[in-house]
Amino acid sequence: MSKLTHKDVLRADQFSKSEIALIVEIAREYEQALAAGRVLEVMKGQVLSTLFYEPSTRTRLSFEAAMLRLGGSVISVAEAKSSSAAKGESLYDTMKTVEGYADVIVLRHPQIGAAAEAAAATYRPVLNAGDGAGQHPTQSLLDYYTIEKERGTVEGLIVTLAGDLKHGRTVHSLAELLSSYDVRFVFASPAALRMPVDIVARLKARGVSITETESLADAIRTSDVLYMTRIQRERFEDPAEYDRLKDAYVLTRSMLAGAKDGLTVMHPLPRVNEIAIDVDDYAGAAYFRQAANGLAIRMALLALVTGRA
Ligand code: NCD
């Protein structure tokens, strides 16, 4: 039993540093076990239900693979339109139903706060796999794990979050999670897509150093980690506004000429145009390793919240 047993995972700022260290430690153990070809049975007899009411590739597949790699089973609703949500069922009723079938529930939903609402409806642990433009805490944990693996530590780094900082739940979560560490932030975005003022205010109140800029080139020169994001088309009310901003930042290989040695380039994926293909063979291009790290982190989370780790 750990402090995470029977807990929901709803927001990145819910974790203490010692909880993050525990999650990473267990993730590393599982990763090594898989690499050694061991077959794990930690979640044998347990059922995970994934409810994805927004598109996903990595998050859903890595959660499902995580459960299967731990010897558990998965039942899944891949899109809202194939579930009773399309008939008007409330999230509350869906959760009361699914808790009868599954031991742990992963939810992605278009509304901010949906995961908290779902968690309040059920006694089963709920993991937030993205609630609209709100939070994406399991992504932040794998992002943290990636920085640690790529750089040794997050301490002392200058981390640039770039792109759609207004709507991007990955950057909302990651900024909150990293703010407990000795990290300096650069927030690089078009003026219309700045980090929400409440998040900036919360970080500043904690004494975190933040520089805001519209210049990606300036940010690249000072960064240790450059975290690119997709302009979140689905969150725009005005398609013309999306068209105006969609290619605001396109990172190309030639732009990295002025970067610090060993710059780490991350992206939660999917990418649209934000990173040119010629960046992929840059040594610091970590985004596909980052996606792979999601498996071990989600194995650790599933085992911890069900008390099996
Ligand atoms: C992100 C998401 O869904 O918020 N994807 C992911 O989970 N890796 C990022 C995005 O969609 O841009």
- Under the banding of pLDDT at 50, 70 and 90, the label for residue 166 is very high
Nearest CA, atom 11, ligand 1:
270
**Is it the case that residue 121 has pLDDT exceeding 90?**
yes
Distance 85 CA to ligand 1 centre (A): 22
CA–CA separation, 54 and 52 (whole Å): 5
Alpha carbon distance 44, 71 (integer Å): 5
Per-residue confidence band for 70, with pLDDT thresholds at 50, 70 and 90: very high
Q: How far is the CA of 19 from the centre of ligand 1 (A)?
A: 23
Tokens read off for 87: 């008939």
Supply the residues annotated as catalytic.
58-59, 87, 108, 136
pLDDT of residue 150: 98
Per residue, the 3-state secondary structure of 169-206, as one string, reads HHHHHHHHHHCCCCCEEEEECCHHHCCCHHHHHHHHHC
Q: Is 230 in the pocket of ligand 1 (CB under 6 A)?
A: yes
Q: How far is the CA of 292 from the centre of ligand 1 (A)?
A: 14
Confidence of residue 83 (pLDDT cuts 50, 70, 90): confident
Overall pTM surpassing 0.95 (yes/no) = yes
Average pLDDT for the chain: 97
pLDDT number for residue 145: 98
Q: Is the CB of 151 under 6 A from ligand 1?
A: no
Task: List pLDDT tens digits, range 142-162.
Answer: 999 999 999 999 999 999 999
In DSSP terms, 261 is beta-bridged to none
Q: What is the pLDDT of residue 247?
A: 95
Question: Is 59 touching ligand 1 by the criterion CB < 6 Å?
Answer: yes
Per-residue model confidence (pLDDT) at position 79:
76
Q: C-alpha angle 119/120/126, rounded to 5°? A: 10
pLDDT at 80 over 80: no
CA dihedral 191, 184, 23, 102 (to 10 degrees): -10
- As a whole number, mean pLDDT of residues 80-90 equals 84
Alpha-carbon distance 182 to 134, whole Å? 24
If 0-12 CB within 10 Å is exposed, 13-18 middle and 19+ buried, where does residue 201 land? exposed
Average pLDDT on 108-131 reads: 98
Phi-psi region at 262: left, alpha or beta (left = phi > 0; alpha = psi -120 to 50): left
- Does residue 290 line the site of ligand 1, with CB under 6 A? no
Q: What is the mean pLDDT of residues 77-103?
A: 90
Is residue 172 within 6 Å of ligand 1 at its C-beta? Answer: no
CA distances from 241 to 82, 135, 193, 231, 268 (A): 31, 23, 11, 11, 23
Please tell me the distance from the alpha carbon of residue 35 to that of residue 166, in angstroms, as a whole number.
38
